[in-house]
């Protein structure tokens, strides 16, 4: 998914922001809801606990970069629960875009084109795997006669 150099770039970047991840997640959700008000009702009214969960998951993803199979299993499960929560494949591009913006703003001059490319590849893996995990759940109900 990422080569060693790319994984190292992503790890180093996250080391710099490890203490800011909950704040970054809060800014992410605020911007996501501003840009796509239609997804707001999918989330609980109090977004506080969710910001902590996202921060935790981002930390996990970055820590598991070298354990591709384990990471993939966790993401398949997360994607499965997301399909039930109402997340649609099209939402993943928007989530990725907003998350990348907030990370890039926070890291400022540390956000290099190389880091951007490595992060983009990681995000593509995360989104594709979650979508794959959710796809198993799609059930075509028989049309009523």
Residue span binding ligand HEM (CB under 6 A) among the ranges 9-17, 87-95, 106-114, 134-142: 87-95
CA distance 5 to 97: 23
Under the criterion CB under 6 A, does residue 85 sit at the interface with ligand HEM?
A: yes
Near ligand HEM by CB under 6 A: residue from 1, 57, 121, 128: 57
Q: Could you give the string, one character per residue 6-25, with x where binding to ligand HEM holds by CB under 6 A and - elsewhere?
A: --------------------
Residue span binding ligand HEM (CB under 6 A) among the ranges 6-14, 62-70, 80-88, 132-140: 80-88
Instruction: Answer yes or no: are the C-beta atoms of 26 and 47 closer than 8 Å.
Output: yes
- Closest distance between ligand HEM and the C-beta of residue 124, in Å? 10
Instruction: Answer yes or no: are the C-beta atoms of 40 and 95 closer than 8 Å.
Output: no
Nearer to ligand HEM, 48 or 112 (CB): 48
Binding region for ligand HEM (CB under 6 A): 39, 42-44, 50, 53-54, 57, 81-82, 85, 87, 91-92, 95, 126, 130
């Amino acid at each position: 998914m990422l080569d060693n150099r790319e994984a190292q770039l992503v790890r180093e970047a996250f080391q710099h922001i490890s203490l800011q991840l909950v704040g970054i997640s809060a800014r992410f959700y605020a911007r996501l809801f501003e840009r796509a008000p239609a997804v707001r009702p999918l989330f609980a009214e109090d977004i506080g606990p969710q910001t902590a969960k996202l921060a935790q998951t981002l930390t996990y993803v970055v820590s598991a970069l070298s354990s591709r199979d384990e990471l993939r299993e966790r993401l398949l499960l997360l994607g499965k629960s997301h399909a039930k929560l109402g997340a649609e494949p099209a939402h993943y591009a928007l989530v990725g875009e907003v998350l990348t913006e907030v990370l890039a703003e926070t890291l400022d001059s540390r956000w290099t084109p190389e880091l951007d490319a490595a992060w983009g590849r990681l995000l593509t893996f995360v989104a594709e795997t979650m979508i794959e995990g959710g796809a198993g759940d799609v059930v075509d109900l028989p049309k009523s006669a």
